[in-house]
Amino acid sequence: MSRSGWSRKQQPMLGTDGTIEAEPRGPRGKGRRGAVLIASGVATILLAGVAIVAFAPPGDHADLVSAAQAADTHRDGPAVALQVLSVTPAAGEKGVNGADPIRVQFSAPLAASTPMPRLSPHIAGSWQVEGDTAVFTPAIGYFENTKVTLKILGGSNGMISVAGASAGSGGRLATDVTESFTTGSFSTLRLQQLLSELGYLPLTWTAGSTTVISPGNAELFAAYRPPAGTFSWTGSYPSALTSQWEAGAANILDVGAIRAFESVSGLTMDGIAGRAVWSDLLSAAAKGKDNPNGYSYALADQNSPETLTIWHNGRVVLQSPTNTGIAASPTVDGTFPVYLKFYFTYMKGINPDGTPYDDPVYYANYFNGGDAVHQFPRASYGWYQSLGCVELPWDAAETAYGYLSYGSLVTVTGPVA
């Protein structure tokens, strides 16, 4: 029965003779009644076999208990559902640095026991909770041009807030959230920096005063975002080579250096810095594995008298008269990397008069199709006599073969016959 259903007015009292007595008056009566109510809080009075309950006045202990019970009921309710506020990198973003952390911010602080998002492709690294944000720090990072998919778990086994874990219900992300981003391309400038550091380019690279690069994640980070620094030439090289160099832009010096590195690393020599090249290059840089062959460059000058000059590590190591192609089969001007070498081989083809040839040659260094720097016996040198190759006397050819390695650049310049 509701509180208002009980009567709290004074009930008649029976005397000893069964008659109804008047209500006690004066201080004594009031004191007795007040004492009963205050002492017990709720007094039960028997009247003709009927129990009458008197409630305590507002603001006493009964009201405090009711407020506490109401608070408990509110506190035991489900927590507010979790929501994703932001993801970094953003959904659909391109050109992302694959070594950067991945951050997912939520609408409430996360429970320490929350399940973490999942990454595909999977890489080594660790997730941790930072207040309302889940942060993934890669051990190394993603390689260039990789599409990365992030799945943020929702539902009954999804990510949960501190409030949800405390209440035992609610506080979870309602459904899975899936987003993707794509990493950028590695920097040509950083490629050049590493190839210079390891001696595959005829330059040195000096890092800026505040640049600190260490193995692991920092090396991959720099592949996307190269540090500041300066290049300088190692020794003296002709303008035929130096004019082709441009920091930060792909050029023929890069191609030769990549081929040289591929040769040393046992990779297919295509002169392209793909995944295998970058992976081995970052490892070589971390271990300080320099180019064991040094840097060599050859310049065949078709101005009369024709000469071949070779530089190694910035100094001239060979200068010899040479022969290049006749008008019917000229040696084309340009700069090309050595892609094939034979100590001894047979060169076969058709002479300008239509007769076949099958010539044995030594110390062959192929640089442009069938054109090679090699030994060939002639009565004299310094003129247009070959069928496109750069011919040398025996001793000069032997020296050239020792210096020219895979990836070494050969420049042919001057008037074509």
pLDDT tens for 168-183 read 999 999 999 999 999 9
Question: Once rounded to an integer, what is the mean pLDDT over residues 260-276?
Answer: 97
pLDDT at position 56 over 50: no
Q: Which residues contact 11 (CB under 8 A, 6 or more apart)?
A: 45, 47, 52
Which residues partner with 200 through β-bridges?
A: none
* Cα angle 297, 303, 309; round to 5: 25
* CATH at 386: 2.40.440.10
* Same structural domain, 49 and 158: no
Q: How many CB atoms lie within 10 A of CB 53?
A: 12
The pairing of strands 324-325 and 384-386 is: parallel
Question: Once rounded to an integer, what is the mean pLDDT over residues 386-405?
Answer: 98
Report yes or no: 373 and 340 within 8 Å, Cβ to Cβ. Answer: no
Report yes or no: 132 and 110 within 8 Å, Cβ to Cβ. Answer: yes
Which of 150, 166, 182 represents a domain boundary (last residue)?
A: 182
Which pLDDT value is given to residue 212?
Answer: 58
The pairing of strands 307-312 and 296-301 is: antiparallel
* Same structural domain, 328 and 400: yes
* Same structural domain, 195 and 167: no
C-alpha 116/C-alpha 83 separation (Å) is 14
Q: How many CB atoms lie within 10 A of CB 157?
A: 9
Which pLDDT value is given to residue 211?
Answer: 59
* Same structural domain, 409 and 300: yes
Q: Enter the tokens of residue 27.
A: 């201080």
* Same structural domain, 125 and 149: yes
* Same structural domain, 406 and 318: yes
C-alpha 137/C-alpha 127 separation (Å) is 7
pLDDT at position 332 over 60: yes
pLDDT at position 42 over 50: no
Give the range with max mean pLDDT: 49-53, 59-63, 257-261. 257-261
Alpha carbon 257 to its chain centroid, in Å, reads 25
Short-list 409, 375, 126, 362, CA closest to 244: 409
**Which amino acid belongs to residue 299?**
L
* Same structural domain, 146 and 192: no
* Same structural domain, 303 and 404: yes
Q: Is the link from the previous residue into 89 a cis peptide, with omega within 30 of 0? A: yes
Indicate the helix (H) or strand (E) that contains 127.
strand 125-130
Indicate the helix (H) or strand (E) that contains 147.
strand 147-152
Q: Which of 210-219, 250-259, 304-313, 385-394 has the lowest mean pLDDT?
A: 210-219
Which of 25, 50, 75 represents a domain boundary (last residue)?
A: 75
Query: Given pLDDT bands bounded at 50, 70 and 90, which one contains residue 218?
Result: confident
Q: Where are the beta strands (DSSP E) in 238-380?
A: 296-301, 307-312, 315-321, 324-325, 334-337, 340-350, 356-368, 371-375
Which of 241, 256, 287 represents a domain boundary (last residue)?
A: 287
Q: Enter the tokens of residue 142.
A: 């993603």
When divided into structural domains, the chain yields a total of 4
* Same structural domain, 394 and 303: yes
* Same structural domain, 311 and 396: yes
Environment class of residue 121 by beta-carbon count within 10 Å: exposed (0-12), middle (13-18) or buried (19+)? exposed
* CATH at 142: 2.60.40.3710
* Same structural domain, 254 and 275: yes
pLDDT at position 5 over 70: no
pTM: 0.78
Query: Given pLDDT bands bounded at 50, 70 and 90, which one contains residue 217?
Result: confident
Max CA distance (Å), the chain: 163
* Same structural domain, 157 and 142: yes
Q: List the domain range (segments joined by +) for residue 31.
A: 3-75
Which residues partner with 248 through β-bridges?
A: none
Indicate the helix (H) or strand (E) that contains 66.
helix 61-75
C-alpha 265/C-alpha 281 separation (Å) is 9
Q: Is the link from the previous residue into 121 a cis peptide, with omega within 30 of 0? A: yes
